[in-house]
Amino acid sequence: MPDPNVEMIRYLDADGTPVQDLPDFARQRDTLVDLYAAMVRTRAFDAKAVALQRTGRLGTYGSSLGQEAIGIGVASVMLAEDVFIPSFREHGAQMMRGVSMEELFLYWGGDERGNDFAAPLARRDFPVCVPVGSQFPQAAGVALALVQKGARGVAVAVAGDGATSKGDFYEAMNMVGVWQLPAVFVINNNQWAISLRRQDQTAAETLAQKSVAAGIPGVVVDGNDVIAVRQVTAQALSRARAGPGGTLIECVTYRLGDHTTSDDASRYREDEEVSPHWRQEPVLRLRNHLVAAHGWSKDEEEALLRESNDSVDKAAEVYLATQPDRPRAMFEHMFAQMPTELAQQAGDVADD
């Protein structure tokens, strides 16, 4: 029986101090700065999105505050031939895959065109999956298609701790196991599914151990340590590419904010519970490490923040200036060829 590593894999402690030898990539300043910049940009995007929502200019939005290391770590080692199948909380990973901030704003602003990713890298990626956990069977299907077509790509799906209670997750993981499909299932275990605590979600000690049910390896990783997430994902990806199948990766982190802008977490959790987690969060952690190990300067930090905020603001402006699509558009993409009855119904709505 596979024995999921119940010891959490971690490279940096909360202060950014290495607790074991760093992998090669993590000794390179540039690589770490790229990871850091991506996390900072994600945080800036989140802040802007929440602000837009609060002022009525965006729909319900789920911030990834405090969970940036997961998506960034995962996407940073994915290749062009891989396919990303995200939950609704992996904005950072989506951006790293080439989805533009304008597209993300459009999506969360309630416009389907936000899912028509222009970037070649993201062209085959899936839009976010709202029905929790239902992306896992699809990811298994993507993996099957990749194998069947002789591609060397891997299907990478991300979902939350709550998603691990869905039958979809389990059925898909079981199929990945029995068909040895190149799929990596990543769990963003942010300790909460809206108001449900992780320990009320399942009696399993770790979420990674759920892989035992499917006979595939499971790993627990510190989800606030982008180096660890990246390293573990890289291993799972090479394993998948080499052929012996899928891996379940549990990334342990914490949801610092509300579930979404529609949620008020103060109804069900105390601030005192949240506070200590601010000390663990991934952006600060990597900054500490960059400062200590690579002389990351105040100027560099300020330039990065400015640049991130500027790019986010610019994207928001483009989004806000984008007119809604023509009402007819809702009919035009239902089928490759519009059936007669739909064309008749479309006659009801204005042409532009």
Ligand X SMILES: Cc1ncc(C[n+]2csc(CCOP(=O)(O)OP(=O)(O)O)c2C)c(N)n1
Window 93-152: residues binding another protein (CB under 8 A): 107, 109-113, 115-117, 123-124, 126-127, 130-134, 136-149
Residues 48, 78: Cα–Cα separation, whole Å: 27
Instruction: Check residue 91 for interaction with ligand X (CB under 6 A).
Output: no
Binding mask 126-165 for Mg ion (x = CB under 5 A): ----------------------------------xx----
Binding mask 114-153 for ligand X (x = CB under 6 A): ----------------xxx---------------------
Distances (CA, A) of 20 to 11, 124, 147, 169, 352: 6, 37, 36, 33, 61
Q: Where are the beta strands (DSSP E) in the chain?
A: 5-9, 83-85, 155-160, 183-189, 192-193, 196-197, 218-222, 247-252
CA atoms lying within 13 Å on the CB side of residue 188: 32
**Block residue for tokens 């340590």:** 225
Among 42, 94, 135, 190, binds ligand X (CB under 6 A): 190
Instruction: Check residue 31 for interaction with another protein (CB under 8 A).
Output: no
**Cβ partners under 8 Å of residue 319, min gap 6:** 102, 105, 106, 109
Question: Which residue lies nearer to another protein by CB, 132 or 226?
Answer: 132
Query: CA nearest 182: which of 221, 217, 156, 219?
Result: 156
**What is the closest distance, in whole angstroms, from the C-beta atom of residue 70 to ligand X in the complex?**
10
Does 255 participate in catalysis according to the annotation?
yes
Binding partner at 216 among Mg ion, its own copies, ligand X, none, C-beta below 5 to 8 Å by kind: its own copies
Question: Which residue lies nearer to its own copies by CB, 25 or 170?
Answer: 170
**Cβ partners under 8 Å of residue 252, min gap 6:** 8, 189, 220, 221, 222, 223, 224
By CB under 6 A, the count of residues binding ligand X is: 16
Backbone angles phi, psi at 169, to 5 degrees: -60, -50
Residues 72, 35: Cα–Cα separation, whole Å: 7
Instruction: Check residue 212 for interaction with its own copies (CB under 8 A).
Output: yes
Three-state secondary structure call for residue 8: strand
Window 241-260: residues binding its own copies (CB under 8 A): 245
Binding partner at 89 among Mg ion, ligand X, another protein, none, C-beta below 5 to 8 Å by kind: ligand X
Q: What is the token pair recorded at 341?
A: 């009855």
Among 194, 204, 330, 342, binds ligand X (CB under 6 A): 194
Instruction: Check residue 4 for interaction with its own copies (CB under 8 A).
Output: yes
Q: Looking at 255, 285, 289, 319, which residue is catalytic?
A: 255
Residues 282, 253: Cα–Cα separation, whole Å: 9
Does 259 participate in catalysis according to the annotation?
yes
Catalytic residues: 255, 259, 268
Binding site for its own copies (CB under 8 A): 1, 4, 6, 165-168, 170-171, 174, 177-178, 180, 200-206, 209-210, 212-216, 245
